């Protein structure tokens, strides 16, 4: 039996009839280390071929890799080419249990606040966010596009009197961005809601939502967090409750004072975002914060200008460890202003007529936001690459497996 078993390739699935015996000695590097099995019969359920790398090698901790230079880390592309084997590591299984928890917490929180879950179309007739970052596809005798966000449709749901809606769904971006934080397909956690008095109702709800997700992960996924931090050690996320809200202009001022000047009316560059994250952490001891009142010029056409200073807008981003995880705003609910803003952004009005027309039949003030699921998890866990938090990542160079 021993020689039969030792000839079996790793990853073969066995059914074993055995006696469970206690162990006097602690065994390292196994998930169960206080008992062992004395096998009587061994059956092969499913024989594996020799895998390209072992799950053990794929599980080596960062600390061990640094300590023992003879360990060669398995290259990310090799892992992703063989994602089935790679996903078998305890760390990866834990990462995707955590991902599932983020979605559950998002859904539970919003349902408890009276939101309705919707499913908007992903095949659409024109680019939802404008611009060139859209995938075009053949659609029978014509062409169509893949949705860059559920933006227009979740707003149309508000026009249709749903009051509060959310969606968890795929988002497609034809950006040739080969970075640690961009995918061409990611999962969007989106919401949109009516505003009664002030758009800060949306900001406050979003802040509460993030705190609920962070707390929920700590409470429900302690085991998974421990497993992940064994392979990829990270500092637990620091956050304040209620979260810190800074105005964009305060952020610009902090950057200026620290010697990193920037144009106060353009968007933050990735480098500025990172530096500001560090400055905020030093000053306010938080890894999560909200940046409010972005310059209007840095935001999409449907963003509501600030009523008191039209150089700014009622819009915000939310950051984890110095990187954006959410972008949101109060939206324009007046069709004339929307048309004017779209023209200013050089958007072909004829292509978004049905969207603009939706606001002609009475629409309440509303706002919302879009969160990138993979990005939230990557930054929460302090991981260095978004491909680690996407089950089968899609980027400009990868559409398989
Ligand atoms: P960035 O400036 O980082 O490219 P963006 O401004 O294009 O992001 P939005 O269009 O506002 O992002 O999208 C909302 C959220 O969706 C972002 O905060 C981020 O969490 C996520 N997201 C956006 N683009 C990507 C992408 N290419 N891959 C993964 N997640 C993304």
pLDDT tens digits, residue range 143-156?
999 999 999 999 99
CA of 48 to the centre of ligand 1 (A): 39
Cβ-contact 325, 318 below 8 angstroms: yes
Rounded mean pLDDT of 45-63?
Answer: 94
Give me the pLDDT at residue 161, please.
97
CA of 149 to the centre of ligand 1 (A): 10
> Helix count (H) and strand count (E) of the chain?
14, 13
CATH class of 90-389: alpha beta
Phi, psi of 285 (to 5 degrees): 50, 45
Q: Evaluate if pTM is beyond 0.85.
A: yes
Element (H, E) at 152: helix 151-159
Does the beta carbon of 150 sit less than 6 angstroms from any atom of ligand 1? no
Does the beta carbon of 182 sit less than 6 angstroms from any atom of ligand 1? yes
**Contact residues for 131 (Cβ-Cβ < 8 A; gap 6+):** none
Listed residue (168, 167, 161) closest to 194, CA to CA: 161
Give me the pLDDT at residue 73, please.
86
Q: How far apart are CA 161 and CA 220, in angstroms?
A: 35
Give me the pLDDT at residue 128, please.
61
Rounded mean pLDDT of 190-203?
Answer: 98
What is each CA distance from 356 to 93, 236, 259, 340, in whole angstroms? 44, 44, 43, 11
Rounded mean pLDDT of 395-401?
Answer: 97
Going by pLDDT thresholds of 50, 70 and 90, the confidence category of residue 31 is confident
The yes-or-no verdict on residue 311 having pLDDT over 80 is: yes
Does the beta carbon of 324 sit less than 6 angstroms from any atom of ligand 1? yes
The ranges assigned to domains in the chain are 1-50, 90-389
């Amino acid at each position: 039996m021993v020689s039969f078993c030792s000839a079996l390739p790793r990853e073969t699935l066995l059914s074993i009839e055995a006696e469970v015996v206690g162990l006097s000695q602690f065994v390292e590097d196994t998930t169960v280390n206080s008992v062992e099995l004395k096998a009587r019969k061994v059956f092969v359920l499913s024989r594996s071929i020799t895998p390209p790398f072992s799950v053990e090698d794929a599980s080596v901790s960062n600390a061990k890799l640094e300590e023992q230079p003879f360990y060669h880390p398995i290259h990310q592309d090799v892992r992703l080419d063989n994602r089935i084997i790679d996903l078998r590591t305890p760390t990866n299984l834990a990462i995707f249990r955590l991902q599932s928890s983020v979605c559950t917490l998002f859904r539970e929180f919003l349902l408890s606040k009276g939101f309705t879950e919707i499913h908007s179309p992903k095949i659409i007739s024109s680019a939802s966010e404008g611009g060139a970052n859209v995938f075009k596809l053949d659609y029978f005798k014509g062409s169509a596009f893949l949705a860059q966000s559920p933006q227009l449709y979740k707003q149309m749901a508000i026009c249709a009197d749903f009051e509060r809606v959310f969606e968890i769904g795929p988002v497609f971006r034809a950006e040739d961005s080969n970075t640690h934080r961009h995918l061409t397909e990611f999962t969007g956690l989106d919401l949109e809601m009516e505003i009664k008095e002030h758009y800060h109702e949306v900001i406050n709800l979003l802040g509460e939502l993030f705190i609920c997700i962070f707390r929920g992960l700590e409470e429900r996924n302690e085991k998974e967090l421990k497993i992940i931090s064994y392979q990829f050690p990270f500092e637990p996320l620091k956050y304040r409750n209620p979260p810190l809200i800074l105005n964009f202009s305060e952020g610009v001022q902090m950057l200026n004072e620290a010697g990193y000047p920037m144009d106060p009316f353009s968007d933050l560059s990735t480098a500025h975002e990172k530096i500001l994250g560090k400055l905020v952490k030093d000053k306010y001891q938080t890894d999560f914060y909200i940046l409010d009142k972005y310059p209007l010029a840095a935001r999409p056409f449907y963003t509501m200008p600030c009523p008191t200073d039209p150089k700014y807008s009622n819009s915000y981003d939310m950051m984890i460890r110095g990187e954006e995880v959410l972008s949101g705003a109060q939206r324009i609910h007046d069709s004339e202003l929307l048309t004017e803003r779209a023209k200013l952004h050089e958007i072909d009005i004829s292509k978004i007529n049905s969207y603009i027309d939706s606001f002609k039949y009475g629409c309440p003030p509303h706002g919302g936001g879009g969160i990138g699921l993979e990005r939230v998890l990557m930054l929460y866990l302090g991981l260095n690459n978004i491909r680690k938090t996407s089950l089968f990542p899609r980027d400009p160079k990868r559409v398989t497996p």
